A and B are shown apart, each in its own frame.
Chain A
Amino acid sequence: MTTATVTGKSDEPVVATKNYLTEEGVTLRSWLLTKDHKRIAILYTLSITFFFFVGGLAATLIRLNLVTPAGIFTPDIYNRLFTLHGIVMVWFFLIPSIPNTMGNFLIPLMIGAKDLAFPRLNLLSWYLYVGAGFLALFAILIGGVDTGWTFYTPFSSLYSNGYVVLALAAVFAVGFSSILTGLNFIVTTHRMRAPGMTWYRLPVFVWSNYATSVIMVLATPVLAITLMLVAVERLLRVGIFDPALGGDPLLFQHLFWFYSHPAVYIMILPGFGVISEIVPCFARKPLFGYKFVVWSSITIAIVGFFVWAHHMFVAGISLYAGLVFSLLSYVIAVPSAIKVFNWTATLHKGWISFDAPMLYALGFIGLFTIGGLTGLFVANLAFDVHVTDTYFVVAHFHYIMVGGMVSAYFGGLHYWWPKVTGRLYPEWWARIAALLIFFGFNLTFFPQFILGYLGMERRYYSYPPEFQVWNIFSSAGASVLAIGYALPFFYLGWSLFRGKRAGSNPWAATGLEWQTSSPPPAHNFDKTPTVTRPPYQYRPEPEPQDV
C-alpha cells in the first residue's frame, strides 16, 4: 500500500521516533512522490494555505477600493480582483479545504485503515490541483479575467476580453482533482473500515466527507461539461448560450448552478463534520442525536441537487419554477437547522471547557446560524427579487463560507494540530485569534446585510455616497479579520519547532485517530484496531491525560 517499509517494533506508540514525517525519508523527492495520505494532506495544506493568502490579498484590495464611493482602482482592475478572489477562494481554497487536508489525513485514521483506497490517485489529485492552480495564476498574471467566478454567458463567452478560456481550463482541471478525491473517499469508506467499525459507529466527520464526496462525484462533471461548452462557444463561435448565435443564456445558468449550488454543500458539509467532532470532545458528552445529524447530512447532499434555480428568481425562469425552487430551498433549510439544534443540545449538561478549537466551534455555530437564517431571506421569492445580486447575498454566503467553513477549518486545524505535528499550539494566542476572527468577521459582513437591503449592488467598483458609512465599517472589520487570519500562520509556525510535545491524545478524545501516536506512523496503526463501541463515548474527565 504505502511505500513505507515497516521496520519499527510494535511497541506502545510513544512520541514520534517513528512517524510519517520522517519514516519515508525527508528528501523533497520522498515528499513529492509520496503515496502516504498523511503526507499528501500536508502537501494540500501547504498549497491551499498559499491560495488562501492569494485570495485574501485580493479581498483586502477589494475592501480597500470600497472605502471611497469613487473607488481607487479602475473598473477593469476591480473586476479582475473580485473574479480572482472568487475563483481562487471557491475552487482553490474552500472546496479542497477540509476534505483534501483533514479528510485526507483523518479518514483512514478514523476508520482504522492504513491509507486511502487509491494512494496513487490521491497523489495524482494533488498534482492536478497544483497544475490547475498554476494555470489559474498564469491567467491572472498575464491579464486576468473579468467575468466573476460565475462566468455568466454571453458575457463570458463572447464579450469579455479577459483570459477566460485559460481560467475555464484551470477550473476544469481542478474539478478532476475533486472527483478523484471524492471517489477515493467513497471507496475507502465502503471498503476499508476496521473490524467492528459499522456505519453507525463512524464519526460524523467521516459521514460528512462521505456525503461531500457523493456531491463531488455527481456534480463536478456537470461543471466540466458546462465550462467546456463556454470555451467551445468562445473559441469556435458555436451557438450554445448566446442568442445571437441561436443559443440560450439561461441554459448556462441552469447548468452552472446545478453544480454550484451543490458545491455550496461541498464547502459546508465537511465543516459540519469538524464541528460534530469538536463539540462532544470539549463538552465531554456524546453528540446529541447522532443519527439525525448523520441523516441530515445525507438529506442535504440529496436535496442540494434540487434547489439550483433559487439563484435565478429574477433571471427569467417561469413563475412556477420559482415557486417550486423556493419551496425546496425552504425544505433544505430544515436539516441545517436540525444540526444547529443538535450541537446546542450537546452542550446541555456537559462539562464544557473553552480551548481554542471549542471557541472556533462555538463561533462557527453562531455565524453559521446567522448565515443559515439569512438563507431563509434569500430563499424567499419576493425578498430575493429585492436583494439578489446585492451585498445582502454577498453577506449571506460569506457567513456560511467564511464565518462557517473557515471557522470550522481553523477549529479543525487547531484540534488536530497535535495529531498532525506532534506539538501543541500556544493556547492563548489561539484563543485571541479565534476571538479576533469572530468579531472581525461580524464587523466586516454584518454591515453588508444592511447595504444589500439598501440596494448596494455586487461587483461595483464605485457606489453612491449614501452607502459609504457601512462600507467603511466593513473595511475596518476586514482589517481586524486579516490580523485574525494572519496570527495562526505565525504561532502555528512557531509551534512546529517550539511547541510542547503533544502526546497521542491531548484532548482525551475518543476517535481512533487518537489511539495512535502523534505524529502517527506511516502505516497509521501498529495493529489494526477493532471497534466495539459507538463514537463519542465521552465522560467527564477532570483532567485530560497529558504528557
Chain B
Amino acid sequence: MGSMQLLPPTASAHAADMDWLFAALVGTSAFILLLVFGLMILFCVRYRKSSKVERGDRLGRTWRVETAWTVATFVAFLGLYFWGADLYVGIHSPPKDATDIYVVGKQWMWKIEHPGGQREIDTLHVPVGKPVRLVLTSQDVIHDFAIPAFRVRQDALPGRYETLWFTPTKVGEYRLFCAELCGTWHARMGGSVVVMEPSDFQRWLDSQDPGPSLAQEGEALFRSYGCSGCHGTASTVHAPKLEGLFSRPVPLQDGRTVVADDRYIRDSILKPKSEIAAGYPPVMPSFAGQIGEDDLLKLVAYIKSLADRTAENSQTGRKAGSAERPTQ
C-alpha cells in the first residue's frame, strides 16, 4: 500500500517486448534531455553576463548546424517509430489458434462469455501460455478494456466488434480497468484478470455452471429468430449457406471481396443491405433493434462453429462463400 511501485507487473509476451521499447524510449529521451539540459546549464554558467570568458568566433553558417540536427533527430525518431509500429502490427495479428472470448461492456460492468458458455462479470479467467482473443463490444457508450499487466487496451464501441489478443505468461491476478470515460461509475468499472495454470483453468471451467455452449445457444437462437428458414441446411430458399463460411473471403455484388469475420456476420444481420453476397437477391430483412448484443454474440459464435463444416446437405451443392455461381 505504501510501496513505491515503479513498473507494473509484466505478465504477457507482449508486455516483455513493450518494456524493452519503453527502455529505448527512456534512453533516447534521457540522452536528448541530458544534451539539452547539459548545454543549457553549461552555457548559462560559462556565458553569464559577469563572466569574462572569450566569446569571439561564433557559430556561422547556421544552416549546416540546423540541417545536421534536423536529420539526426529525424533518423532517431524513425527508428523508434518502426519499433513501435512493428509491435503494434503484432498486437493486431492474433494467432489462428487463439481462443475467442466475448466481452460486452455496459454501464458499468464487463460481461464476459467463454466459448463453452461460462459467464462471468468483471473478472476474466484465462489459462497461462495460451493465446486469447477478446471480441469486444458495448451495449451503450464507449468503454475500454485495459489490462496494464499485459500492456494492451482496446475501446469497446457500441455497434461494432473490436478485438484484442494476448498470451499471458505469468500466473496471477491482474487489474482490469475501463479506460474510456463512460459515466458516473467509470472508476469502478473494472475488476481483475486471473491467469491460471491450464489444468486449474480447466477445473475452473468445469466448476462453472456448464450450460449450453455459446454456439449451442446460438443455434437455438438461429431457429427462434427464423434464420434457419432461409440459411438452414434444409432450406430451399436461395440464401447464402453458412457452413464453412467463417473466415473465408466472400465476393460481394459490388465487386469487392470481404473476409467473413465477426464484423461481417454482425453487419450482415443488422445491415444486410450494406454488403450483399454476389449472386443473391438482397431480400434479407434487417434485425437491427431486435437482437441484443448478447444474442448477436451467440449467433456469431454459432456461425463461427460452422466454419469447419461443409455444406454437403446443401441443395445448391456449393461451398458457401466461395466459387458462387449466379444461376437465377
Please give the residue numbers on chain A whose beta carbons come within 8 Å of chain B beta carbons, in ascending order. 71, 75-76, 79, 146-148, 150, 152, 154-155, 159-160, 242-244, 248-250, 283-284, 288-289, 292, 313-316, 319, 322-323, 326-327, 330-331, 333-334, 337-338, 340-342, 344-345, 347-354, 362, 365-366, 369-370, 373-374, 376-377, 379-386, 388-390, 450, 453-455, 457-470
Contact = CB atoms under 8 A, between A and B. Distances in A.
B2 interface: yes
Nearest to A362: B40
Q: Which 5 A-B pairs have the closest CB atoms?
A: A243-B159, A455-B148, A382-B87, A381-B88, A380-B84
B226 interface: no
Contact of A457 (B59, B77, B177, B184): B177
Given A316-B160, A374-B29, A349 B55 contact: yes
B91 A383 contact: no
B323 interface: no
Given A159-B140, A389-B144, A79 B78 contact: no
Nearest to B37: A366
8 contacts: A75-B185, A75-B188, A79-B183, A150-B181, A327-B85, A382-B91, A459-B186, A464-B175
Nearest to B30: A373
A240 B226 CA distance: 31
A314 B154 contact: yes
B69 A75 contact: no
Nearest to A288: B62
A393 to B, nearest CB: 10
Contacts of B49: 284, 351-353
Interface centre among B80, B92, B155, by most chain A C-beta atoms within 10 angstroms, is: B155
A76 B88 contact: no
A460 B187 contact: yes
Given A152-B181, A353-B48, A353-B49, A385 B186 contact: no
B47 A76 contact: no
B40 to A, nearest CB: 6
Contacts of A284: 49
Interface residues of B, number: 83
A159 B25 contact: no
Contacts of A152: 141-142, 180-181
B25 A352 contact: no
A380 B81 contact: yes
Interface stretch (B3-11, B112-120, B199-207, B217-225): B3-11
Nearest to B68: A341
Contacts of B77: 330-331, 333-334, 376
Contacts of B6: 450, 454
B171 interface: no
Nearest to B32: A373
Interface of B: 1-8, 17-18, 21-22, 25, 28-29, 32-33, 36-37, 39-40, 43-44, 47-49, 55, 58-59, 62-63, 65-66, 69-70, 73-74, 77-78, 80-81, 83-92, 107, 140-142, 144, 146, 148-149, 151-155, 157-160, 162, 175, 177-188, 289
B69 A338 contact: yes
Contact of A383 (B25, B78, B86, B144): B25
Contact of A366 (B29, B40, B162): B40
B148 to A, nearest CB: 3
Contacts of A341: 36, 66, 69
A289 B66 contact: yes
A383 B21 contact: yes
B291 to A, nearest CB: 13
B61 to A, nearest CB: 11
Given A345-B65, A454-B8, A385 B88 contact: yes
A316 B37 contact: no
B81 A462 contact: no
Contacts of A319: 88-89, 92
Contact of A155 (B28, B91, B142, B162): B142
Contact of B36 (A313, A333, A365): A365
Contact of A327 (B25, B81, B162): B81
Contacts of B160: 243, 316
Contacts of B29: 373-374, 376-377
B43 A344 contact: yes
A453 B8 contact: yes
Given A152-B142, A152-B181, A334-B73, A352 B43 contact: yes
Given A147-B181, A460-B186, A455 B175 contact: yes
A153 to B, nearest CB: 8
A463 B65 CA distance: 48
Contacts of B21: 380, 382-383
A250 B8 contact: no
B186 A79 contact: yes
Given A243-B157, A344-B39, A453-B22, 8 more contacts: A147-B181, A155-B142, A249-B142, A316-B155, A351-B47, A369-B36, A382-B90, A469-B2
B2 A348 contact: no
A362 B186 contact: no
A455 B140 contact: no
